[in-house]
Structure 1
Amino acid sequence: MVRDGARPGEHKYLAVRAYLADLVTSGLAVGDAIPSERSLTEQFGVSRMTVRQAIDALVTEGVLERAQGRGTFVAPPRADFEMRLTTFGEEARRRGLTPGAEVLDAATVPAPPHVAEALDRATGDPVHHVVRLRTADGTPMSIEDSWIPADLVPGLLDDGVPESLYAALRAHDLEPTWGEETITAADGTPDELQRLEMRGTQAVMRTVHRTFGGDAALLYSRTCYRGDRYSVFVPLREARPTLVPGTRPAGTDAGRPVQPGRIPEGSPR
């Protein structure tokens, strides 16, 4: 029996999808199970394939999440990943969450070629390398792989990894002023999925980021974000001259370097 209010001609799976979306917004809490596929097929008089199509749509949108062998549940809301030069901790606190970090690796090492190129250094120059698992309210959210030229912040790791790499830069009079970031979607590796405690989906969001102070590269990072916990928010502005990502600033704009992939006020670091 199709629910009251279903519009004539509405695709059957859309009616099921709308019903489930209404349940999430009007009654069910995060972690609650949705009605079983069997009960939904009986309620709407549709096939199980139609019910699964509706559920799949909401899983893709991040409204629901599947737990293998257990069922389908209301997913936690996704964090808006706004393109800004802020730290992970600042972004988490802004959303009322408690940030955390587990250091997976930290050492001063010779820069490999791709890192040296990104930081405008020679291959083999010393760089501080920090890998951290970032959490919000105890939930794993991302894995950050960061490099900072050792000559900019000598002794960065002498007393352990600082809570904020940006704060460490500022302590040496190095102010992050702009950045560039490339975002791609991919499947996580088995190690990433395990560390991020991801179940039911393998989708992750990968970013490659460079932070600059003026025209000097201060930090290079690669981050893997949970695809089921993040959505991207990008403020759009009037078109301005930009460079192809990965190139060096070559000019100025209103007294500032031309900024490839310009980020309006700062990305979680």
Structure 2
Amino acid sequence: MLDVLKVGDALPPERRLAEDLGVSRPTVRAAIDELVTEGLLDRRHGSGTYVTEPRIAVPLTMTSFTEDMIRRGMRPGGRVLSFRTGPAGAKIGQRLSVSPAEEVFTIRRLRLADGSPMAIETLYISKELLPDLRRKDLEGRSLYALLRARGVHIASAAETIEPTVTTPEEAERLGVPVHAPAFLFERVSRTEEGRVVEFVRSVYRGDRYRLELELRPPSH
């Protein structure tokens, strides 16, 4: 049914599909419901049902966005939306385990895959770790690769994930409706010695992502 349609095309009415396929309308409706659940179709109230980009399965690992997209055969990209330095302040200082007066980078990036917007990432990192970091260093490049070049290796991370909806500004950047479903990721990463490397807050498009977990039974 989707072979002849492109992303963004509207699905024909259920009655026409049933006639063309020689099946009942309940059968067509059930098939559409399944495709909506899988994220291949988007049902818009009062408008119709449309073909969407397939969702990307995101394993919960410590790889960077750039590295993860390359592993999936996609072309990673990004645009730095803002890049500034300043005192950490109480809240970010606590997240980074540094003094509120310590200078930190606050970097906001739009993350892309094959040219499509996927996420908005706000990164906080102590200026001491990458004192010469410049805005252009992060255009489409992996922060983790830059850190490794400096001898800083991330060994562990604590991450929380919760459902959210996009703000008007996020929706415009991501190309989705206002209050569209999204995932909010917050991560604190550390070195082997326990030093905090980064605090990252990312908003991922809910229509392009699904989360993957590999579960193992507890050892006895």
SS of 1:142's partner is strand
Task: Kindly report which structure 2 residues correspond to 1:81-230, keeping only aligned pairs within 5 A, or say none.
Answer: 81-157=58-134, 160-162=136-138, 163-199=141-177, 202-214=180-192, 215-230=194-209
User: What is aligned with 2:36?
Assistant: 59
When residues 86 and 30 of structure 1 are mapped into structure 2, their CA distance, relative to the original with a 3 A threshold, is farther
Q: Give the length in aligned residue pairs.
A: 213
Q: What do the CA deviations read for 1:170-225 (whole angstroms, capped 9, x no partner)? A: 12211011111100011111111110001497001110011111211101100000
Q: Note the alpha carbon deviations across 1:40-71, whole angstroms, 9 max, x for none.
A: 58777769xx9878756643431202468763
- The runs of 5 or more residues in structure 1 that have no matched partner are 1-22, 241-269
2:52 is aligned to 75
Contact 2:15 2:25 in 1 (8 A): no
3-state secondary structure, aligned to 2:158? strand
State whether residues 168 and 179 of structure 2, in contact with CA within 8 Å, keep that contact through their aligned partners in structure 1: no
Secondary structure of the residue that 1:160 maps to in structure 2?
helix
Determine if contact 2:123/2:200 at 8 Å carries over to the other structure.
yes
1:174–1:213 CA contact under 8 A, matched in 2? yes
Segments of structure 2 that go 5 or more residues without pairing to the other structure are none
Q: 2:215 aligns with which of 221, 236, 244?
A: 236
RMSD of aligned Cα (Å): 2.8
CA distance in 1, matches of 2:144, 2:154: 7
* Farther-moved stretch of structure 1 (199-208 vs 106-115): 199-208
Are the structure 2 counterparts of residues 123 and 81 from structure 1 closer, same or farther at C-alpha, using a change threshold of 3 Å?
A: same
Cα deviation 1:59-84 (Å, max 9, x = unaligned): 34312024687632222211111111
Give TM-score, length-normalised by structure 1: 0.69
In 2, Cα distance between equivalents of 1:182 and 1:91: 19
In the alignment, the residues of structure 1 paired with residue 73 and residue 45 of structure 2 have an alpha-carbon distance, to the nearest angstrom, of: 30
Partner of 1:264: none
**Secondary structure of the structure 1 residue equivalent to 2:154:** coil
Q: Distance in 2 between matches of 1:94 and 1:161?
A: 21
Q: Structure 1 residues 179 and 60, CA, compared in 2 at 3 Å: closer, same or farther?
A: same
Q: In percent, how many aligned pairs have the same letter?
A: 37
For the residue of structure 2 that corresponds to 1:222, the secondary structure is strand
